[in-house]
Structure 1
Amino acid sequence: MSLHVPITPEARAALRRQRRTSKAVSFVVAVIGTTVVACVMGLLLIPGQTSCGYYPVPYCPLPEVTCSLPAPKPTLIDRPPRAPSNRPVPLIARALPTPLSIPVVFTPAMESDEFGTGDDFHEGMGNDDQMGQGITIPYVSRKRCSKADRLQLLEEGGAAAEVDESVIQALRYLKSTQARDGSWGSKHKTAMTGLALLAYLGHCETALSEEFGDSCLRAITYLVDIGMKHDGRLVSDTTARHWPYEQAIGTYALAEAETFHRALAIDIPMLRDTVASAGQFIIDHQHPTGGWDYHYDRSSSRGGDLSITGWHLQALKACKHSGIDFRNLRNCVTRAIDYVELRQAPDGGFGYTGTQPADGTSAASLTGVGMLSLQIWGQHAKPTVKKGADYASDHLEFKWESQQCDLYAHYYLSQAMFRHGGTEWSTYQASVLKDLPLHQNADGSWPVPGGGQKPAAVGALFADDSEEGKLYRTTLATLMLEVYYRYLPSMR
C-alpha cells in the first residue's frame, strides 16, 4: 500500500529553493576544491616552469623593437664594488625581461641634447624634459646603441661603414690590455681607465655587453672603489699637480656609466653615490674666475686654464645627464661658460690661461675645447662658436705623419666641428677622420704619430713610445672616430 500526500504550491516552491541552494553550495565546494588542488600542483611545478620574469640576457641592441612587458626592477650586484684584485667579478644574474640592451622609451625625434629651458643655467641653453624624471637614456645617446643607426649616422656624416669595425678593433685592444684590477695605465690610472670606459660607452658597450661587458664592469668597479675610499676623490695621490684632470675624466666616465646602467635597470652599488660625491667635489672646488686650476687651488693667481676647465665642463654635463641633484650646479656652469668665452681672441682662436695659445704652440690648439665647452651647454648658436670654427678651418690642420698631429687638440675639435656641421664639418672630416683608420695597427691600437718629428703640441703624452702613451692615443683616436654617433650635432 502506498501513501499519496498532495503537494501544495508552497511546498513545491520551497523544494525548488532548496534544490537551487544545494546546487549552488555544491558548485562553490567544487570550485574551492579545484582551486586548492591547482595551487598545490602549481607549487610543485613552479621550479620547472618558465615565466616572464627576470633572466640572463645577451647583449642585443635592437632599439627599434617595442615591448609590453612590465617595467624592469633594479638588478643588484651582490657585493659593494671594490678593486677586484685576484677575485673574479661576479656575473650579473638578472637583467631586463626583454632581449634588448636598452629600454625602448623614445622621446620625440627632435629632442635636444641639452638640458633645462631658456632661462636655465645660462641664456639659450637647450631643453631635455626626460632626464631626471625617469631612467631613459637621452635620445642623442641612444642612437649609438643600434648598429643600424650607427651605420646610418656614419653614412650621413660622410664616413665609411668600416669606421665602426675600426672602433670595435680598438675596443678589443683595450680589453686585451686591461689590468686584473680593472684599470688601465700606470702613472695616470684614473684618467686612462676613464678614457677607456668612455670609449666603451661611446659604442654603447655596458655591463650587459656580450663581448665587453665584463671589461666595462671591472673598469666601473675600479673607479668606484677609489671614489669610495677617498670621499669622492678619484685618485689616491692628491698631491700630484695634474690630479684635477684625473678627477674630471673619471667623473665624466662614471656619470655616463650611471646614466646607461640606470636605464638598463642595473644597480651597481655605490656607483650613483660616487658620481654624486665626485661631481659635487668638482662644483665645490671651482676657482672664483669660473675655471679650474691645478691642485684645485682656488686661491691661485693663475686662475685656472681652458684645458682643465674643458674636462670639468664635460664631466658636469655627464653629471647633469645622470639626473642627480647637485648643489649650485646652475651657478657653477654659468660662471664656467663666462670663463670660456673670455678665453677667445679677436681672431676666433681660444687661448690657454688668457687669449693666447699655450707656450710651445703657434696656433690656438685649444679652440676645439672652447667650442665644445659652449656647445654642450646650449651655446652652439653664439658667434663665438662660429668664429672658432672659422679659425680652426684656417689654422688647425691634422696630418698623422707630421708635426701637426695633435690628437689632444683634435679629440675636442672633432666633436666641436661635428656639432657645428656645415661645410666646416664636411671639410674637416674628409681631411682628418677619413685618414685615421688607415694608420691603425693590426691589434687595434695606433702607433706613435708624427713621422719621427716632435708634435707641435703641449704635454704630448699621446706621442710617447710607452704602453701608457699607446693607450692614450688609442683612446683619443677611438673617441674621435665615435664622434659620428656618440652625439647628434647641435645643428646641421
Structure 2
Amino acid sequence: MSIHARLNPEAQANLEAQRRASVITSMIIAVLSVVLAVLILFFILIPSLIVKSPTIVAYTAGSEEEDPLQQKRITREVTPKPNAPSSAMAKVMAAVTPSPTAVPVPEIEAVPALTYGFRDDIGQGWGTGGNGGGGGFGRIPAAMRKRCSKIDRLRRLKQSGGTRECEEAVVSALRWFKKVQRPDGSWGGSHQVAQTGLVLLAYLGHCETPLSEEFGDAVTNGMVYLIENSVKNKGRLCTNRGDKHYVYEHGIATYALAEAYMFCRVLGLNIPNLKQSVQLGVQWIIDNQNSSGGWEYGFDEGSRGGDMSITAWQLQALKAGYHSRLEFRNLRECISRALTYCEGRQNSNGGFGYTGTSPVGGGHFTLTGAGVLCFQQHKGTNHQAARKGMDYIDRHARINYQSGPCNLYEHYYVSQAAINHGGQSWLKYNDKFRDTLLSGQQPDGHFRSPPSPGPGSKNDPVYHTALATLMLEVYYRFLPGTGFGL
C-alpha cells in the first residue's frame, strides 16, 4: 500500500490550472520587462544620435557715442568719520591681579565686531534698553535667550502672568545694587563671595553684561572681584577658607561666573582669567563630590554625606558649566551620582528632606523646590521625582511678605520649579507669590527683611533683594521646556 497522499481529480485539475496561469503571468512580465528596457535605452541613446548645428551669434560693436566714457571729477566733499562706539561697548579689563580694589576699566575706542551685525554701535537688544533680539545673543542656549530682548521679556512676562510692576521692581533693584556696591566690586556685609554671586546672577538674569550701558560697570567690577578671589585661592571661591560654609559660596559664585562666561563668549569679550576661573571652579566641584553623591560642608567627607541644600547649588553650577561649552572631566558621571543622592532625600509624600527624608526641625519640607529644580534642570519636567515634588508644593507652598511665612530661600527654588512645571501649578503659585513679593520692596529698590525669612544672611538687605529679584525674573530668566538635560 502506498503511503503517499494523492489529490483527487478535481483538486489536481485546479492545481494544474494555477500552474498554467502562473507560467503565463511570468511570461507576460518578462516580455513587458524587455520592452521597458528597450524604451529606457532608446531615450538614453537618442539624444547622442541627434547632431545639432551650432548657432552662430554675431555682435555689432557699438559706436563711441553709444557708450561714452565717464570723465573723472575731483570733489572737495568729505565723507564724515563714523561715530565712535559708546563707552559701554569699549570696556575691557587690562589685567586681573589680587588686590583689595577692583581693576580700573580704561575707556578706549573700539571697532564693533562685524560678526554680530553691528554698524555704529551696540544697537538694540543689549541690556536694559534692548528692544530687539540683539545680534549675537542667538547663540545663547534657547532656555536663556528670551531674557535678552526687552520685547521678548515683556511678552514672556505678560504670557506667564507677570505685570509691568514686576519688571519695574527688577530694574529698581538692579539700580539699588549699583548704588550699594562696595569699592572692591563685591556686595554684602558678610559672605561677600556668595552675595556677589547672587547679585551677578540677578544682573545676568536681566541680560545685563559688561557692555550694558547702565549696569556694565557694576557687572564688570563684580566679575573682577570673583575672578580675583579665584586667582588668589587657586580656583576655590570663598570669603574665608576657614569657614566651612564656603562650599555654598563656591557653588553660587561658580554658577555666576559660568553664566557670565557664556555671555562673554557669545559677545566676543575676552576677560582675563574668567575662563580659567570657570574651569577650575566647576572641576573643583566635580573632584570634591562626597562618596554619597552629594556635597558636604567644606567639601569634606563628613559622616553626614552632605545635604540637599548644599547639593542643589553645586548642581546648578554644574548645569551652568555645561552651558559654558568648556570641557570638564567626569561631568556626566558626577551629575548622575548627585541625582541618585537627591532621589534618596525624597520622602514618600513628595517632599525633599535635608540630610535624609525628613525636613530640618520637622514640619514643612522647605527644600522640595530645590530637589524638584535639580531634576527639572538635568532630567526634565516629566521626571517622576520632579512631578511628585510638585504635587507636594501644590499642597503646601505658603508665602506672605507681610505676616509670614516668607522663606525667600525656599521660594527662590519653588518659583523656578513652578513655572517650569507650568499649568495649574504655576497659575496657582503665581497668584500666591507675585503681589505679596512686590509688597516687600522699599522706595529705594531694596527688599526689606521678611518675617520667617529662612536660612542665610537674615538681616542683610543685599541677600533678600537678590533672592527677590531672581524670583521676579523667573518669568523670562529661563524658558520652560528648553535647555534641560545633558
Instruction: Specify the TM-score bucket, using the shorter chain as the normaliser.
Output: 0.7 to 0.9
Instruction: Name the CA shift for 1:303/1:274 in 2 (closer, same or farther; >3 Å).
Output: same
Q: Deviations over 1:193-243 (max 9, x none)?
A: 000110000000000001000000000000000101111011252221101
Determine if the alignment matches structure 1 residue 402 to structure 2 residue 409. no
Q: Is the 8 A contact 1:166 1:437 kept in 2?
A: yes
Q: Is the 8 A contact 1:188 1:246 kept in 2?
A: yes
Q: Is the 8 A contact 2:103 2:224 kept in 1?
A: no
- Displacement of 1:103 after TM fit? 5.7
Instruction: Name the CA shift for 1:87/1:366 in 2 (closer, same or farther; >3 Å).
Output: closer
Q: Distance in 2 between matches of 1:58 and 1:427?
A: 45
Q: Is the 8 A contact 1:258 1:272 kept in 2?
A: yes
Q: Deviations over 1:85-130 (max 9, x none)?
A: 27633346434441243763587xxxxxxxxxxxxxxxxxxxxxxx
Q: Distance in 2 between matches of 1:447 and 1:337?
A: 35
Q: AA paired with 2:468?
A: A
Q: Which residue number in structure 2 is paired with residue 212 of structure 1?
A: 215
- Displacement of 1:51 after TM fit? 6.6
Determine if the alignment matches structure 1 residue 306 to structure 2 residue 335. no
Alignment of 1:220-369 (within 5 A): 220-298=223-301, 300-359=302-361, 361-369=362-370
Q: Is the 8 A contact 2:134 2:148 kept in 1?
A: no
Q: Distance in 2 between matches of 1:75 and 1:439?
A: 35
Q: Deviations over 1:118-144 (max 9, x none)?
A: xxxxxxxxxxxxxxxxxx211221210
Q: Which residue number in structure 2 is paired with residue 77 of structure 1?
A: 93
TM-score by length of 2: 0.76
Q: Distance in 2 between matches of 1:92 and 1:189?
A: 30
Instruction: Name the CA shift for 1:401/1:90 in 2 (closer, same or farther; >3 Å).
Output: same
Q: Which residue number in structure 1 is paired with residue 457 of structure 2?
A: 461
Q: Deviations over 1:427-446 (max 9, x none)?
A: 00111123211221000001
Q: Is the 8 A contact 2:200 2:256 kept in 1?
A: yes
Q: Deviations over 1:257-285 (max 9, x none)?
A: 00011111111111011110111111100
- Displacement of 1:81 after TM fit? 5.3
Instruction: Name the CA shift for 1:84/1:263 in 2 (closer, same or farther; >3 Å).
Output: farther
Q: Is the 8 A contact 1:207 1:213 kept in 2?
A: yes
Number of residue pairs the alignment of both structures matches? 393
Computing the radius of gyration over CA atoms, which structure comes out larger, 1 or 2? 2
Alignment of 1:63-74 (within 5 A): none
Q: AA paired with 1:479?
A: L
TM-score by length of 1: 0.75
Q: Which of 186, 192, 200 is equivalent to 1:183?
A: 186
3-state SS of 1:254 partner? helix
Determine if the alignment matches structure 1 residue 487 to structure 2 residue 483. no
Q: Deviations over 1:293-346 (max 9, x none)?
A: 001002x11000000000000011111111110011010001011111111100
Q: Which residue number in structure 2 is paired with residue 375 of structure 1?
A: 376
In structure 1, stretches of 5+ residues that fail to align are 1-33, 39-44, 61-73, 108-135
Alignment of 1:130-209 (within 5 A): 136-209=139-212
Q: Is the 8 A contact 1:58 1:209 kept in 2?
A: no
3-state SS of 1:434 partner? helix
3-state SS of 2:476 partner? helix
Q: AA paired with 2:462?
A: L
3-state SS of 1:386 partner? helix
Q: Is the 8 A contact 2:351 2:368 kept in 1?
A: yes
- Displacement of 1:246 after TM fit? 0.2
Q: Which residue number in structure 1 is paired with residue 445 of structure 2?
A: 444
Deviates more, 1:93-102 or 1:174-183: 93-102
Instruction: Name the CA shift for 1:169/1:81 in 2 (closer, same or farther; >3 Å).
Output: farther
Q: AA paired with 1:473?
A: H
Q: Which residue number in structure 2 is paired with residue 66 of structure 1?
A: none
Q: AA paired with 1:461?
A: S
Q: Which residue number in structure 1 is paired with residue 461 of structure 2?
A: 470
